[in-house]
Amino acid sequence: MMSFEGKEAPALRELVDWINTKELSFEHYRGTVRFIEFWDHTDVSSMRSCEFTQRLWERYGQTNFVAIGIHTPEYIFEWEPSNVAAAVERFGITYPAALDNNKTNWVHYGNRYIPKQFVIAQDDTVASEHVGEGNEYKIEATIRTLLEREGAELPRPLWSEGSSIVSGITDVSRPLYLGFRQVMGLRKAPTLVPAATRIARDDGGPYDDDIAYLDGEWRQYDEYVEHEGDGEGSLTYRFFASSVFAVITTIREGDRIGIELDEGELPPGTAVPGPLCPGCDGKELDVTYSGLYHLLSLPEPGHHTLTLRVAGPGVRIYVLSFE
């Protein structure tokens, strides 16, 4: 994998739009310490990584520092600026975010994985680069070193208040991409298997791990499966994890999706009501936006069977992700 550390950072170019700021050029930020993060609002790791970036922005934004999120879409619906702007609001992001819909900057920075972060020094040199999560201490230490060189008085480091690094479980179920292909060439799971080999007709069980069982009139497209029947439909999947996420869109307003765990309602405290699960009540959720939904969170990982139920046509499910 190409490394940019010690080299001049490529200038940002051909950005489609900006959020939280007016359109700015890379030269506008010259002379500042820049933290650039490539992210995708449908990716669970990006969601957590953006939480840390927001903390950096709140802690160091009054110094000679700027955080910039470069949104690189995985799915076609993410090309729409309003969908990204809505995700920025859901995630509580207040730092500048730019839309790299054409993947121009993704390519120029040699990216293969997401999220990907770069700390850029005042002289435009890449001071450090990082992939994924778990690099918070190194990132902040690099930023502080660069700011201290110019004599800045800095606030307490974030790490002095405890780490937000997720102590993840490595043997959870791998993501299930439900379209024909792994879109856009973004690598989110090195062992990703095309979904065509992981989908079966639901005959009422028993259910094997790692296979999506569909009941109703579903059609598989490049990026998603869509329920096209007027009647009810369901997707059942047996997994090992403690949290379940899904990327969902709908072509109808007011759609609700039923959620069942092990053929029953979600246990108390399992639903995750909030911006990423609107209307969650342990039985259903409201599909109010196009993007990432946090379906449920369990006290500890285990084997369970998830069932999502739809009442009519138009619901599209892109991927199930697990922690």
Proportion of the chain above pLDDT 90, given as a percent = 64
Mean pLDDT in residue range 129-153: 92
Helices (H) and strands (E) counted in the chain, each on its own, are 4, 16
What band does 63 get if pLDDT is binned at 50, 70 and 90?
Answer: very high
Residue type, 299: P
Instruction: Please indicate, yes or no, whether residues 110 and 229 belong to a single structural domain of this protein.
Output: no
Enumerate residues 6+ apart whose C-beta is below 8 A from 284. 256, 257, 258, 259
- Among 239, 251, 240, 244, residue whose Cα is nearest residue 292: 244
Asked whether residue 9 is domain-assigned, the answer is no
- For residue 107, the enclosing domain spans 17-161
Could you tell me if 157 and 188 lie in one domain? no
246 versus 281: the higher-pLDDT residue is 246
Asked if 189 and 314 sit in the same domain, the reply is yes
Q: Which pLDDT score, from 0 to 100, does residue 24 have?
A: 72
- Give the residue from 103, 132, 161 where a domain finishes: 161
- The span from the CA of 273 to the CA of 279, in Å, is 7
Specify the 3-state DSSP secondary structure of 68: strand
* Residue 287 sits in the same domain as residue 218: yes
**CATH number assigned to the domain comprising residue 143:** 3.40.30.10
Question: What tens digit of pLDDT does each residue of 174-209 get?
Answer: 899 998 765 443 334 333 444 545 777 888 878 888
Assess if residue 168 is contained within a domain: no
CA 84 – CA 291 distance, rounded (Å): 9
The verdict on residue 75 lying in a domain is yes
CATH number, residue 297: 2.60.120.260
Report the mean per-residue pLDDT for the chain. 88
The closest alpha carbon to 272, from 245, 250, 311, belongs to 245
Q: Which of 115, 137, 161 is the last residue of a domain?
A: 161
Residue 106 covered by a domain: yes
Residues 188, 54, single domain; the answer is no
Is it the case that residue 141 has pLDDT exceeding 80?
yes
Same domain, 144 and 213: no
* Mean pLDDT calculated for residue range 271-290: 90
Enter the pTM of the model: 0.89
In a domain, 12, yes or no: no
Residues 273-287: what's their mean pLDDT? 89
Percent of the chain's residues with pLDDT above 70: 90
Beta bridge partners of 215: 234
What tokens appear for 177 in the block?
């991409």
Q: Are residues 122 and 67 in the same domain?
A: yes
Give domain status of residue 1, yes or no: no
- What is the spatial distance between Cα 268 and Cα 283, in angstroms, rounded to a whole number? 11
Provide the number of structural domains found in the chain. 2
Give the separation between CA 295 and CA 276, rounded to whole angstroms.
8
| pLDDT(166) > 70 | no
* Structure token digits, residue 151: 């004599």
Lowest-confidence segment of 161-165, 216-220, 297-301 by average pLDDT: 161-165
The predicted pLDDT at position 44 comes to 93
